[in-house]
Amino acid sequence: MSEATRTDWLPFARALPRASVDLCYVDPPFNTGVKRTATRPIRGTRASHPASYQDNWPTIDAYLAWLRERLAATIPAIKPSGNLLVHVDWRTSHRVRVLLDELLGADRFVNHLIWSYGLGGSSPRMFARKHDDILFYCVDPARHYFDPPRIPATSRRMRGQTKKATDVLDIPAINNMAAERTGYPTQKPLALLELLVAACSPAKGTVLDPCCGSGTTLVAAKKLGRTPIGCDLSPAAVRLTRTRLSEIP
Ligand SMILES: C[S@@+](CC[C@H](N)C(=O)[O-])C[C@H]1O[C@@H](n2cnc3c(N)ncnc32)[C@H](O)[C@@H]1O
């Protein structure tokens, strides 16, 4: 199987062998109601056709039905020791958590991770929304893999040492000048995916991302010695993912 395939998540998931994946991380469209378009031409695309994907469903129920069908098809592919991370935001996290409780069982819930990213504007009418939600579920609570990540300690007493990460991950979003920026809309930072992949999948394990976008998860997996597999509907996403993977020695 190729590392990144251009196809819909649903047939891709249905074709996966049972119990073959150690970690499935999925960062689906968030149902923002708009078409997400690249901020600049990405590698392999023409300026007149910037990479984009549709991110609007007629209702939240239609969105959840789309997601339910695909998650239900994916779960059998995850090993009993495996994990599932679903990356969403304030628009749907409350409903997606209920959906995952239904599909896997509420006792398979592990963490509600907060990715606190900092960048962006503010509003005079509310607290600024500065985080995404990553819902962490396992298949078997007694067997699931977890290697607690360590991050630099910030207190004066522990200066120069590390501490265990909490469920709030303070990792800046990719800024406009960052070398890793590809221009693909909603690209996630490699630092976030490296932390998640290292914590939630074993060395040499298989990491699946069925909405791989610019390929960040698969790049993190390959760099960390895991086997990356993924797909995306967008030809530009798959081209970019393959290019990024080919650049890793
Ligand atoms: C939020 S983006 C993923 C961004 C990615 N995590 C990254 O770091 O670049 C969501 C992706 O889902 C893809 N997508 C939307 N519907 C899909 C489907 N039915 N099957 C596979 N991919 C799909 C979009 O093309 C888009 O690339």
* CATH value at residue 238: 3.40.50.150
Spatial separation of the C-alpha atoms in residues 10 and 64, rounded to whole Å: 14
- CB of 117 shorter than 6 A to ligand 1: no
Spatial separation of the C-alpha atoms in residues 63 and 41, rounded to whole Å: 28
* Cα-Cα-Cα-Cα dihedral sign, residues 238, 239, 244, 249: positive
The closest of 196, 205, 110 to 151, measured between CA atoms, is 196
- CB of 82 shorter than 6 A to ligand 1: no
Cα(212) to ligand 1 centroid in Å equals 6
- CB of 27 shorter than 6 A to ligand 1: yes
Spatial separation of the C-alpha atoms in residues 83 and 139, rounded to whole Å: 6
User: Of ligand 1's atoms, which has the minimum distance to the CA of residue 182?
Assistant: 9
- Which residue in the block uniquely carries the two structure tokens 């630092």? 191
SS3 state of residue 222: helix
pTM assigned to the model: 0.95
- CB of 213 shorter than 6 A to ligand 1: yes
Q: Using CB atoms within 10 Å of the CB of residue 36, give its burial: 0 to 12 exposed, 13 to 18 middle, 19+ buried.
A: middle
- CB of 191 shorter than 6 A to ligand 1: no
> Residue 217 is part of which domain span?
4-246
Each residue's pLDDT, cut to its tens digit, for the chain (249 residues) gives: 569 999 999 999 999 999 999 999 999 999 988 777 766 666 655 555 556 778 889 999 999 999 999 999 999 999 999 999 999 999 999 999 999 999 999 999 999 999 999 877 788 999 999 999 999 999 999 999 999 999 999 888 998 999 999 999 999 999 888 999 998 989 999 999 999 999 999 999 999 999 999 999 999 999 999 999 999 999 999 999 999 999 998
Query: Domain count of the chain?
Result: 1
Crossing angle (nearest 10°) for helices 235-246 and 216-223: 20
